[in-house]
Chains A and B, each alone.
Chain A
Amino acid sequence: MFSDLASALIVTRREVRDQFRDWRILAPILVLTLFFPGLMNFTAREAVSFVSRYGAPVIGDRLIPFLLMVVGFFPISVSLVIALESFVGEKERRSIEPLLSSPLTDLQLYLGKLLAVMLPPLLASYLGIGVYLFGVHRQVGWTPDPILLVQVVTLTTVQSLLMVSGAVVISSQVTSTRAANLLASFIIVPTAMLLIGESMIMFWARYNVLWWAIFGQILISGLLIRTGIAHFNREELLGREIDTLNLKWSWQVFWRAFVGESKSVSDWLRRGFIQTFQRVCLPLLLALVAFTAGGIVGAQQAQIFVLPTELMDINNLQQGFVQEIEGFEALRFFSVESVPLVWMHNLRVILLATILGLFTFGVMGLIVLMLPFILIGYFTATAARTGIPLGLFLTAFVLPHGVLEIPAIALAGAAILRLGATLSAPAENRTISEALLHSLADWAKVMLVLVLPMLLGAAILEVFVTPGVALNIFGN
């Protein structure tokens, strides 16, 4: 372990020394470390003095911690540029090949470079924070709460890790710095949004919420590091000479994975599909856990965001429900035409979840599919609170079509999770593209054989059976 780290540090030392020889990296770091905190000190002093004159000292109180976060963030923004330069720049200049021909493992190289691109901007950031704190203490006498300081320093560190680990993933997929810079918007835009969110928290002064931001970023960084390690290997780095999308080859790989060695449709269902199903078993379990958690979260929210009781009063509900039934014709329940509408709606949701899941290791896809379960949990708990029996509520509104829809969504969630997770999992004897195409084939099989037919069945039940059951239970 320590010898592994020692070898990684050889790379780190070389890269850091190289960075300090490049004035293009050194100049912004120095400016952001020494000049920028001074500027922020000046801004803080002037702002505090200005708002105090108009009786709004609270703005000044919130501005100083906010500027502390900004001072910490600016130097680490340089780490993104250094990361792109270090990973893809070296690949583009072809100086990476002798390094890859050395006895270092992929992990040692990854770790060495990760530390090299993170350490100088982070040290600059910590120094900048120090300079700012010293200045602001001297000028306006402000000293941060130690916990807030720990939060800001931790936040700065995880943000740097987040950007760098994201940059590595991008760098491993391209062969030129230009392409990497273009794709870097996938990091810059979410980071900017994150920063806006954190700024709002700072002005809101709910500093406890910062822990959630830190926790979320650690999770995402963990996933990105896992992905980076999977992608940063010799085969991926040198096996790709130009950034091309080979559609013909992609289709061939997909089709081979989709059809497998099956000789007929029955053979495909018997053998090929069973194997696919076995592969999605673990993600299925995870999806079911997530959906159950969604239901519980929904039920908990019902205790926090309480609906007025009259809305959920059983008598009012029955009355309102009868009125609604009268409008059923307009909503086209009990109509064949509605079946494709309901079916297509569910398919659109699955498609959206798939697209989101593909870019977020399956996480966002799963969250989208969790939303109905949160709502079910919320309304079931609300109904139960107002005296409607839990079983009755579920039987009336959820179960008739949920019998098919819930398993279908769970299966879709499992396939999406597997598809997204492929990017972060090392592909044995396969390139990332091949592994992704194989997972896409599994996704397509699950959709075609199970999810689509089950959702169609669920749509039929939702249009014809559920309203009937609800009518019988809650109608007069």
Chain B
Amino acid sequence: MIRTEGLTKQFEDFLAVDEVSLDVCAGEVMALLGPNGAGKTTTVRMLTSVLRPTRGAARVAGYDVVTEARKVRSSVGILTEDHGLYPRMPAVEYLDFFGQLYSMKPEVRRKRVRELLGQFGLLHERHQHIGEYSKGMRQKLALARALLHDPPVLLLDEPTSAMDPESARLVRNAIKDLRSAERAIIICTHNLVEAEELADQIAIIRRGRIIAKGSPMALKQMLLGPGEFEIRLATTLNGSPAALPPGVTISAQGPRWIRFRTSHPETDNPLMLRALLDQKIPVVSLQEAPRSLEQVYLEAVNAPDGREVLDVL
């Protein structure tokens, strides 16, 4: 649904986006992560046919972003970083205006506007001027605008950044529903917990280049090494366990716990338990040590320049 190959954008002598290749299918969410100024917004603008790529190609919803720009823009719903609302307009009028721009019929428009305002809890405030809205309400309204024409592709920049936890949950659920409804979605976000929750794929962009890309699990494996497991013990352990299965290394140890790494947990974890039990060390629990996407992100963006792109798709 979204496919780019070597997408590049140069502003005068500044290379904003450099050879970006992405592939997002229908029913898939990709989180585009990266520091400020990394090229996320420029990439999104090229995908909405607002900016013309300097080199490379991109197809969105089957249309070429350069030669079929109008069709691309009709097929994309975009939530921009700055929501781009008109403060003197009532919300209902604002959505109706965009409905007209997307050539929606009046009765369809009215129904859809009401439906979306209801979904995001703005129905009672629909006649209020947008200027009177809170930040979170504005963000929800902007999201409603992006969804108004029911586009097959959604490009969402920081969809929950200004929202309270309840609203953020509402929006995340809406995104999950859209994924289930076979929409292709790209989310640009700094909220890594949200990215981990929603994304099927993560692409990390730095100085215009994609430096890592893949599923959250695969990226963790690739960037943080083999999985880490923690065993909680019932008694205090003096020294390391005497015999460890081959391939298992102790990464940290406390009086009543051990952390170890293994590339083959399915075979090594039972062996590890057996080794402890053989030494008459009672085990309380064995579980995978949580590894956050934040660690993956920091590992990727702090890596030295020139490292090859990690593509684990």
Distance between Cα atoms of A101 and B146 in the complex (Å)? 10
B residues within 8 A CB of A246?
A: 12-13
In the complex, the answer to whether A102 meets B88 with C-beta atoms within 8 Å is no
Cβ of A234 and Cβ of B51 under 8 Å apart? yes
Partner of B84, one of A18, A96, A104, A252: A96
B73 close to A (CB within 8 Å): yes
A141 at the interface (CB under 8 A from B): no
> Measured between alpha carbons, how far is A18 from B51 in the docked complex, in Å?
28
A146 at the interface (CB under 8 A from B): no
In the complex, the chain B residue whose C-beta lies closest to that of A108 is B101
Q: In the complex the two chains form, is A21's CB within 8 Å of B13's CB?
A: no
The contact string, 1 if C-beta is below 8 Å from chain A, for chain B 5-41, is 0000001110000000000000000000000000000
Complex-state Cα separation, A252 to B71, whole angstroms = 36
CA–CA, A460 to B81, complex, Å? 65
Take A102-B102, A103-B74, A238-B45 as given contacts and tell me if A97 and B80 are in contact as well, using a CB distance cutoff of 8 Å. Answer: yes
The bracket for how many chain A residues form the interface is 20 to 34
- For the complex formed, measure the closest distance between the CB of B89 and the CB atoms of chain A, giving whole angstroms: 7
Give bound CA distance, A253 to B102, whole Å: 39
| Chain A residues whose C-beta falls within 8 Å of the C-beta of B86 in the assembled complex | 14, 18, 95
Nearest B residue (CB) for A20: B88
Verify A97–B98 contact, CB threshold 8 A: no
Q: Does B48 contact A (CB under 8 A)?
A: yes
The answer, among A14, A98, A249, A252, for a CB contact under 8 Å with B145, is: A98
With A98-B145, A239-B11, A252-B13 given, is the CB distance from A104 to B101 under 8 Å? Answer: yes
Q: Which B residue sits closest to A104, measured CB to CB?
A: B101
Minimum C-beta distance from A241 to chain B (A): 8
Query: Does A53 touch B at the CB level, under 8 Å?
Result: no
Question: Do A10 and B97 touch across chains, with their CB atoms under 8 A apart?
Answer: yes
- Assembly CA distance A246 to B48 (angstroms): 27
Q: Quick check: A95 and B102 within 8 Å, CB to CB?
A: no
Interface check B50, CB cutoff 8 A:
yes
* Cβ proximity bits B75-86 to A, threshold 8 Å, 1 near / 0 not: 010101111111
Q: Is B292 interfacial (CB 8 A cutoff)?
A: no
What does DSSP make chain B's interface, helix, strand, loop or mixed?
A: loop
A206 at the interface (CB under 8 A from B): no
Q: Does B251 contact A (CB under 8 A)?
A: no
For residue B52, CB closer than 8 A to chain A, the reply is: yes
Q: Mark B50-85, 1 if CB is under 8 A from A, else 0.
A: 111000000000000000001101101010111111
B100: Cβ under 8 A from any A Cβ: yes
* Cβ of A263 under 8 Å from chain B: no
B13 near A101 (CB under 8 angstroms)?
A: no
Contact between A101 and B89, CB atoms less than 8 A apart: no
Q: How far is the CA of A97 from the CA of B45 in the complex (A)?
A: 9
* Contact B70 A105, beta carbon cutoff 8 Å: yes
Contact with A along B196-211 (1 / 0, CB 8 A): 0000000000000000
Measured between beta carbons, the chain A residues less than 8 angstroms from B74 are: 103
B12 pairs with A101, CB closer than 8 A: no
Cβ contact within 8 Å between B97 and A94: no
Choose one: A7, A95, A235, A253; the contact of B101 (CB below 8 Å): A7
- Among A11, A21, A94, A101, contact of B50 (Cβ-Cβ < 8 Å): A101
**Given A10-B97, A103-B103, A97:B82 Cβ within 8 A:** yes
Which of A22, A105, A234, A252 meets B88, CB within 8 Å? Answer: A22
- Asked if A239 and B102 make an inter-chain contact with CB atoms under 8 angstroms apart, the answer reads no
Question: Once the chains are docked, how many angstroms separate the CA of A253 from the CA of B83?
Answer: 35
User: Closest CB-CB distance, A88 to chain B, in whole Å?
Assistant: 15
Q: Do A235 and B102 touch across chains, with their CB atoms under 8 A apart?
A: no
Q: Given A10-B100, A21-B88, are A94 and B13 neighbors across the interface (CB < 8 Å)? A: no
Q: What is the CB-to-nearest-CB distance from A193 to chain B, in angstroms, rounded to a whole number?
A: 36
Asked if A94 and B82 make an inter-chain contact with CB atoms under 8 angstroms apart, the answer reads yes
Query: In whole angstroms, how far apart are the Cα atoms of A101 and B149 in the complex?
Result: 13
With A98-B78, A98-B80, A103-B73 given, is the CB distance from A14 to B51 under 8 Å? no
- Kindly list 4 other residue pairs between chains A and B, CB separation below 8 angstroms, not including A98-B78, A103-B73, A103-B102: A93-B82, A103-B101, A235-B51, A429-B52
The 7 closest A-B pairs by CB, nearest first: A94-B82, A98-B84, A249-B13, A249-B12, A95-B84, A102-B101, A21-B88
**Could you pull out 9 A-B pairs where Cβ atoms are within 8 angstroms?**
A10-B100, A14-B97, A94-B81, A100-B50, A101-B76, A103-B74, A235-B51, A238-B50, A239-B51
